[in-house]
Amino acid sequence: MTSWIESANAPHCHFPIQNLPYGVFAKDGEEPRCGVAIGDMVVDMAVLESAGLLKAGGTTTVFDKPALNDFMELGMAAWDSVRDQLTSLLKKGGDTALSGNETLMPKALVPMSAAQMFMPFKVAEYTDFYAGKQHALNVGTILRGAENALPPNWLHIPIGYNGRASTIVVSGTDVIRPLGQTKAPTAQVPSFNPCARLDIELEMGTVVGTPSQMGKPITVQEADDMIFGYVLLNDWSARDIQGWEYQPLGPFQAKAFATSISPWVVTKAALEAFRTNTPAREKVLLPYLNEPGPMIYDIELQAHMQPEGADKATLLCHTNYNRMYYSAAQQLTHHAIGGCKMNTGDLLGSGTISGPDKSEYGSLMELTWGGKEPITLDSGETRTFIEDGDTLTLTGWAQGDGFRIGFGECVGKILPSPDFKV
């Protein structure tokens, strides 16, 4: 299947007609509203809805809003219906109500170069997991030694912590280096400083579309049905602040200063052909976590670093989402199993995605082995952790036969800490 929008048919285009990811955009100072990416264009969903070419199934309009939440909460039947309507309007040889309307087309199709992207949905709450086994083994070995790398519960439950929705930001937003308490191993008391060991974590983010009920557990299949789609997610981490504060309750300020996501939400429907199985279990999971079928996806992922003034970025790692030990549906199931209510717009971070080879390590903590093994960038500079002015870019795609389901990019540049004296 191809589109009459020719840019969508290029082999390496992230947004072919098979994808149709959702976002929120504006142009020329207008109010933000919902859009869909195809090729190098943004389809203005509010325009199509107003023209009567799209019906989401609700009693009111849902696409003239500055967030996808109203659409997401309509559920899977509405998601599938709108996808079918869009596909018919955009495919070559399909419905000509858009392609044949020379008055409507320039209103409904906006060049990406003219579109300003916003947060695609209002984040209700944010939970970050620690569900990549290789990452857990690597970090555990660095901090505690190989014999104590994995905590006793790790092979039985998806471990997570409740993060901050208030500092989730869209790609392109600069990130200010955090301040905080740190303590050197030989120091008697902590000190207050800018973070010196600033890191990335290459993750996927799961976007919850429909809510659950407080007090009611959900199955893995029900959890999968609740998921609207996925984004790239960079869980920025202040390793030195985290090392001092995380015991006994886990990350706090070290993770609360910023989390970046890509502007396009790739729907579960677009990824259906790329489902695959999670790795073989080392321990038998309790039955409530059993998967009824393939629940993870074959998605290639990369992280790049570009120092300020460098003419190109350096590839830091290339891994795959299928390295995750626990799927997003398992994570969501475990999150709700005690009665926790999940909401439309909840965001779940997968945990850092790393593979067995060093080239697949999804954080600088692993790539430099805790700062002991500096890496050399293509510019000739070396890094153990992120320096001011560095730009970090995540990207990813699922590779099909002659097309790819892409996520675009998740970009953030690090700015210096504020001048704050104590």
Active centre residues (catalytic)? 135
CB atoms within 10 A of CB 285: 15
**Structure-token match 């489902």, residue found:** 275
| CA distance linking residue 85 with residue 71, whole number of Å | 15
Looking from the CA of 71 toward its CB, the CA atoms found within 13 Å total: 34
Judged on CB neighbours under 10 Å (0-12, 13-18, 19+), 250 is: middle
Q: Reduce the DSSP state of residue 91 to 3 states and report it.
A: strand
Beta strands in 224-313 (DSSP E): 227-234, 237-238, 259-261, 266-267, 275-276, 296-297, 300-306
Q: Which two tokens stand for residue 376?
A: 């050399």
Radius of gyration over every alpha carbon of the chain, rounded to an integer in angstroms: 22
Strand residues in 39-107 grouped as ranges (E) = 41-44
CA angle 109, 114, 120 (to 5 degrees): 80
Residue 205: strand, helix, or coil? strand
Q: Is the dihedral of CA 185, 187, 191, 194 positive or negative?
A: negative
In angstroms, rounded to a whole number, what is the distance separating the alpha carbons of residues 131 and 334? 12
Q: How far, in Å, CA of 221 to CA of 269, rounded?
A: 15
DSSP string, 279-296: PPPSSPPPGGG--SS--E
Q: How are strands ordered across the β-sheet holding 391-399? A: 175-176, 404-415, 391-399, 300-306, 314-320
E strand or H helix that includes residue 37: strand 33-38
